[in-house]
Amino acid sequence: MSKQMEAEKRNHQKLGQELELFMSMEEAPGMPFFLPNGMIVRNELENYWKQKHYKAGYQEIKTPIMMKQELWEQSGHWEHYHENMYFSNVDKQNYAIKPMNCPGAILLFNSKRRSYRELPVRYAELGLVHRHELSGSLNGLLRVRSFTQDDAHLFVELSQIEAEISRILAFIHDFYSHFGFDYKVELSTRPEKFMGDIETWNQAEKSLQSVLIEKGLDYQVNEGDGAFYGPKIDFHILDSLGRSWQCGTVQLDFLMPEKFDCMYIGEDNKPHRPVMIHRAIYGSVERFMAILIEQL
């Protein structure tokens, strides 16, 4: 009973209203409205994120919120994520509001000829995404339909994978330590519905597992919970009541670079395909903010 009372006392929706941080309105279910006080907190989180990324050698980008149907068909989202997406038709052309930021980052990587000397390319984006979550699952800022994902998309050579992932794991640890959060780590493997061949998936899972072992991190295997395009390392933050919330993620992707024909010119002056790493730390700025509010 005391734990339930403590949860009610710390409820971020209650505190968000009392402190005039954010509001939910029936005109936009699952899409929060931020008040001036809430924007102060948001801006602090986003500014800290930007400063850390600039120092770590990331380049900030911004990609459109809505892109043509053909792009999402090419990426595989149309087939594997269609039920969670929002759509529009403009000038007899079908569009989808982005549920993920990765295709936009790929288009930017492909916008010019690339050399091995440029790799790793590290793009960082605070990108607004929309996902059609079931109304019964919505929960304040913790589970919403419109949120800002603090994405990074890295394009690396095969030989750079383990060093870059090791670097990312240290970066994420530094972030969470700054806010005083403990966390758990999971290795999420191939789901039932996936793109690509099993051999490529096994190679990707082995690479992630190798880095976790090398870093001496305790982790659990979450069978079948990987993204449809690759396995991932998930970071679950423990809140003030000991509840676990999935926030950070590191995903290894051999498939998207192939689907979009991403290439760079290697030291041998021949074309090579990069490997893509998807990475988030807050996961959702809104969810991270909710966890912080309940820490008060």
User: Catalytic residues, which ones?
Assistant: 102, 131, 149, 151, 153, 232, 278
Backbone angles phi, psi at 47, to 5 degrees: -65, -40
Using only C-alpha atoms, the chain has a radius of gyration, in whole angstroms, of 19
Residue pair 62/125 in contact by the 8 Å Cβ criterion: yes
Residue pair 290/12 in contact by the 8 Å Cβ criterion: yes
Q: What angle, 0 to 180 degrees and rounded to 10, lies between the N-to-C axes of helices 198-214 and 161-178? A: 50
Joined tokens for residue 118: 């440029």
C-alpha–C-alpha distance, residues 69 and 72, integer Å: 5
Classified as helix, coil or strand, 268 is: coil
C-alpha–C-alpha distance, residues 24 and 118, integer Å: 44
Which residues of 109-258 form beta strands (DSSP E)?
121-130, 146-156, 183-188, 220-222, 232-238, 244-253
Residue pair 105/99 in contact by the 8 Å Cβ criterion: no
